[in-house]
Structure 1
């Protein structure tokens, strides 16, 4: 989706595609693979924690069975209880990957699983003290998943409740095994185990939650850049059309007043109205086609900036100035449309933009590895590009090749073929 930018990065990427002037300072390059690697690391740190704790408990079961502490029936019953509680704990831990406090809330189910684990640990500790304490790991991991999935207002109360209840059950179960300090010590250690497990899980998920927030901020930054371009286009269109329409209205009113009084002057005013209308139409087409205040180099710089802000590693090869000036706005429109398609319709990680020139003309190629499903039809933007390139004898191709999507535009400099 970033060494993800915070909202202040919007100011750096707000220069719209097609806007004149120097591009703002480049945005720090973002490698989406880092987020994927971090997610894998967090997942493997969080979700298998219940299984790891279960392995420690299984080790105690096996050793207890080997030395005769556990009978076969004990082993079967405790093994089934351990399996059920481990599955529940793993489910709850997996839900924490949605973010801190964002996991699915199954309050009754989570409470029941924690109570079952706590009672099991108390029963085993009371009857099999040699291997009973290790069962505290099960309520510890369940408590950690419950606290991590809870809302902010419930997090501390649940932490104190789970640590306190675990300490109480352990102290009660071990009270008859020695002087008062022994069960108290066991209770404090059990509470510490629960608190430490909660701390580890909450910190891991909190860190991942920060990454998710930053990634969302980076996505919003890219969307704001696109919205800024739309606002720029609307403002420019309003300025041009408002000016011409106001002049047409004034000239029309003047021509209306001159009819019958000075027909020659009225005809002259009517001719000016027609010329103003043609000028307005021409200027509007120039705005829509990106001819006004834009060139290929500016479009390439702005497209690269916005793509990198969206987390897409972008490279540009070739020189924009090698493209003939009459073709600069045409290829600039190609770059704009290609960059927009990458942002809207793909999950690209890399984008390559190449400028090639030879004695036969110029070619611009946009490639990205975010190939998306297609029904075989091109969008209206690419169809519009084909029409515009066709007016100059050029062509536009959009195709999938070797796992990449390519948008290729080629055209000859006007007048070259006749030369």
Structure 2
């Protein structure tokens, strides 16, 4: 989407229009009205009047170009605007000198500081915060000198006015120019943050979908591969059992297809009860002696759905890792609810087959999700024992903004 369309979508078009009239438009109008009236009404010779008109036209054009460019590009997130066009800035500086010297020569103390004040304000808009403060402070103090010096030299008795009015004019002009531009910069940064938040939300949803797809397909495919291998070995010695295993493979394939469609439609949830029941069948089919230690109070504890979903994901990941990365002969699953905490512990005795130092991302991502819900996930290997322990508050609720990124299996 181009800049104009983005501004209309964010409601910034009217704000941009207002800021333009409040900054470049007002600055140009002030220059033309104050300095122009002095040129027309002042007692100036023809050469001075022509020179002043040319300088005023140059200063006004430079003012409109520089401030409009500053408004169009805005400031970056670190507060650093783009550099101004040096040609226009040089033209503004030269015109400022003319429009300051001529009124001073004719002792017009209320006009000579108008063009310098506008030029200082323009330069300040293109500077970072610290150099901007030095420029404003230095220009305000410096504005005390020219008019005061001329007044003292002429002895006209207007020293206070000649010195203080130009300094106040510089400070006031800078304030009126920087205020609306600061508001415009803040609005631009907020709009960029809003668009970034929308992009992150899309990426989070993609991660959630990828994680859910991994949860389904990784587990189903691992079990399908296991049962297909078993059926191939049984095909000659026990055709009946091989046929039964292939029927199970067909059922698992249908389940995987159904679950994949459910993920696409966004209503599939993994639950601890289903995963524990499935783990018994899967581990038994792999020739692993699975021992289940289930606290009777856990079934009646009334755990909220987000808690059961997270524990179900841990159960699925742990069982999948047993099938993929171990030669376990025994496994144990323990589920209890005590002291307001739901605790799931999965262990096996075949960890030696897992490559040393390889952690993967599945359990790591799940640990982040459990921590976001106020729980904890730990795993440890001691010799040939690998133990995964998950704990969650029995009344925990998974934050809706937390992506369900599970990553690849460990």
Could you tell me the TM-score, scaled by structure 2's length?
0.57
How far apart are the structure 2 equivalents of 1:161 and 1:108? 22
CA distance in 2 between counterparts of 1:278 and 1:78 reads 87
Structure-2 residue corresponding to 1:233:
209
Partner of 1:138: 115
1:356-375 paired onto structure 2 within 5 Å = none
1:283 to 2:283 alignment: no
In 2, the alpha carbon distance for the partners of 1:220 and 1:84 equals 41
Q: Does residue 245 in structure 1 map to residue 221 in structure 2?
A: yes
* Aligned counterparts of 1:257 and 1:171: Cα–Cα separation in 2: 105
Task: Output the CA distance in 2 between the equivalents of 1:33 and 1:216.
Answer: 10
Partner of 1:99: 74
Structure 1 143/157 Cα, relative in aligned 2: closer, same or farther at 3 Å? same
The separation in 2 between residues aligned to 1:201 and 1:244, in whole angstroms, is 65
Match in the other structure for 2:178: 202
- Pairing 1:249-328 to 2, within 5 Å after superposition: 249-288=225-264, 290=265, 292=267
| 1:23 alignment partner in structure 2 | none
Gaps of 5+ in 2: 2-7, 270-410
Q: Which has the larger radius of gyration?
A: 2
Matched with 1:75 is 49
Structure 1: stretches of 5+ with no match in the other structure:
2-30, 295-419
Matches within 5 A, 1:69-218: 69-97=43-71, 98-100=73-75, 102-106=80-84, 109=87, 112-113=90-91, 115-129=93-107, 131=108, 133-178=110-155, 182-218=158-194
- Higher RCO (C-alpha under 8 Å, 6+ residues apart): 1
Match of 1:62 in 2: 40
Tell me how far apart the structure 2 counterparts of residues 198 and 109 of structure 1 sit (CA, whole Å).
Answer: 22
SS of structure 2 residue aligned to 1:255: helix
Question: What CA distance in whole angstroms lies between the structure 1 residues aligned with 2:173 and 2:104?
Answer: 23
User: Who is 1:311 aligned against?
Assistant: none
CA distance in 1, matches of 2:164, 2:89: 22
Do the aligned partners of residues 175 and 113 (structure 1) sit closer, same or farther apart at CA in structure 2, a change above 3 Å counting? farther
Distance 2:136 2:207 in 1: 49
Change (3 A) 1:87 1:124: same
Task: Give the structure 2 partner of residue 366 of structure 1.
Answer: none
Contact 2:66/2:85, CA 8 A, preserved across alignment: no
SS of the counterpart of 1:104?
coil
148-157 or 258-267, larger mean C-alpha shift:
258-267
Task: After superposition, give the CA deviation of every residue in 1:51-99 in whole Å (9 maximum; x if it has no partner).
Answer: 21222211111112xxxx1122222111001111111122221123133
How far does residue 229 in structure 1 lie from its aligned partner after superposition? 1.9
State how 1:9-28 maps to structure 2 within 5 Å.
none
> 1:191 Cα deviation (Å)?
1.1
TM-score by length of 1: 0.56
Report deviation, 1:123: 2.2
Comparing 100-109 with 277-286, greater Cα deviation is found at 100-109
For 2:96 and 2:16, the matched residues in 1 are separated by 31
Query: Which whole-Å CA distance do the structure 2 matches of 1:172 and 1:105 have between them?
Result: 34
Conserved 8 A contact 1:57-1:134? yes
Q: Say whether 1:36 aligns with 2:13.
A: yes
Closer, same or farther: CA 153–107 of 1 in aligned 2, 3 Å: farther
In structure 2, how many angstroms separate the alpha carbons of the residues matched to 1:259 and 1:52? 94
* Runs of 4+ in structure 1 over 6 Å off: none
Please name the residue that 1:51 is paired with.
Answer: 28
In structure 2, what is the equivalent of residue 4 of structure 1? none
- Partner SS, residue 236 of structure 2: coil
Q: Number of aligned residue pairs: give it.
A: 259
Contact 2:58 2:92 in 1 (8 A): no
- CA–CA distance in 2 between the matches of 1:92 and 1:169? 26
Q: Is the 8 A contact 1:125 1:174 kept in 2?
A: no
Q: Relative to structure 1, is the Cα distance of residues 140 and 110 closer, same or farther in structure 2, using a 3 angstrom cutoff?
A: farther
